[in-house]
């Protein structure tokens, strides 16, 4: 019978056979994950201690994830997210406490296991049986908050970046990847989360892009940290850069634009996705009624 124990914050599995004992790191500090990995690691230890040769030696998650990350064809941001999550998991870091971040980590890990099954690299997946949906964020900006940001965020180039994000509903990564040859008369071609798509330029967005001396060459972390720093300085609480995109969609729906058109502008794969994101927000906008 194998047992697990913790050493320096990391869980290990130990197994004895015929006077011999072997231990193996489970590479996690999370007890629930350690229990999930125990059967997989135990079979490996049994094989090593007994000298039994299986028809095929299946890769560990570490080895499997290396192959998974080498696959081509993913969007750049998706690849970076996969790399970050898998690096944390393989280094034994606990899952995030934030529900949304935690669900992203769980989905990524399970996606890797599913990929291994589909490719025939493993015969069994030790997926994490935990919440993969998280809690949808519902923060949007008021008209006064938008006005304050647009008049006060510095420097000017970053202010333009923020305004452009709101007027187009584009993601940070999509704007940061704009190149001169992607610019059309009234739209921009980008490769977003759902693949290649067109970002519509309204008159406000056109003015900003026409007055830019150069396109924005920002890093992902710079945008996130700089935006949070600026909104804190302005006294705007619980704000994230992606909230600009959510506010863009909500305001268009409130103005009477069909959810189908809003879905297209946001680059969602289906109208169902848009409805799931905005139905909770629109509920509070319903006027008083009597039954």
Tell me which residue of 86, 92, 89 sits closest to 71, measured CA to CA. 86
Tell me which residue of 291, 238, 242 sits closest to 77, measured CA to CA. 242
Q: What is the pLDDT of residues 142-161, one digit of tens each?
A: 999 999 999 999 999 999 99
> Where are the domain boundaries for CATH 1.10.443.10 in the chain?
143-283
Q: Which helix (H) or strand (E) holds 198?
A: strand 195-200
CATH fold, domain 143-283, is: hpI Integrase; Chain A (1.10.443)
Q: What is the pLDDT of residues 133-144, one digit of tens each?
A: 666 778 899 999
Q: What is the pLDDT of residues 216-225, one digit of tens each?
A: 989 988 999 9
Predicted TM-score of the model (pTM): 0.60
Other CB atoms within 10 Å distance of the CB of residue 279: 11
DSSP symbol at 181: G
pLDDT at 55: 47
Q: Which whole number is the average pLDDT over 125-140? A: 79
pLDDT at 50: 78
Q: State percent of the chain over pLDDT 90.
A: 41
Q: Taken in order 232, 150, 139, 267, is the CA torsion positive or negative?
A: negative
Q: Whose structure tokens read 């997989």?
A: 40
Q: Which whole number is the average pLDDT over 3-25? A: 86
Least confident residue range of 11-25, 52-66, 152-166:
52-66
pLDDT at 202: 93
């Amino acid at each position: 019978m194998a047992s697990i124990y913790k050493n320096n914050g990391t869980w290990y599995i130990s197994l004895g056979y015929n006077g011999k004992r072997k231990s193996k790191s489970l590479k996690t500090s999370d007890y629930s994950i350690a229990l999930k990995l125990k059967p997989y690691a135990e079979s490996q230890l049994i094989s090593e201690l007994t000298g039994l040769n299986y028809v095929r030696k299946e890769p560990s998650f570490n080895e499997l994830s290396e192959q998974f990350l080498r696959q081509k064809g993913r969007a750049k941001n998706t690849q970076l997210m996969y790399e970050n999550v898998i690096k944390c998991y393989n280094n034994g870091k606990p899952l995030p406490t934030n529900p949304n971040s935690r669900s992203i980590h769980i989905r990524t890990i399970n996606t890797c296991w599913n990929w291994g099954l589909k490719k025939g690299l493993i015969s069994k997946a030790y997926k994490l049986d935990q919440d993969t949906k998280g809690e949808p964020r519902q923060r949007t900006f008021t008209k006064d908050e938008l006005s304050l940001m647009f008049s006060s965020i510095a420097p000017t180039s970053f202010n333009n970046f923020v305004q452009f994000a709101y007027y187009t509903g584009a993601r940070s990564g999509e704007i940061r990847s704009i190149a001169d040859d992607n610019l059309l008369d009234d739209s921009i071609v980008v490769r977003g989360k759902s693949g290649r798509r067109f970002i519509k330029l309204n008159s406000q967005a056109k003015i900003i892009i026409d007055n830019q001396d150069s396109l924005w060459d920002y890093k992902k972390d710079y945008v996130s940290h700089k935006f949070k720093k600026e909104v804190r300085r302005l006294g705007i609480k619980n704000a994230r850069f992606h909230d600009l995109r959510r506010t863009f969609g909500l305001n268009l729906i409130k103005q009477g634009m069909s959810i189908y058109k809003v879905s297209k502008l946001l680059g969602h794969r289906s109208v169902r996705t848009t409805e799931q994101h905005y139905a909770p927000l629109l509920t509070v906008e319903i006027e008083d009624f009597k039954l």
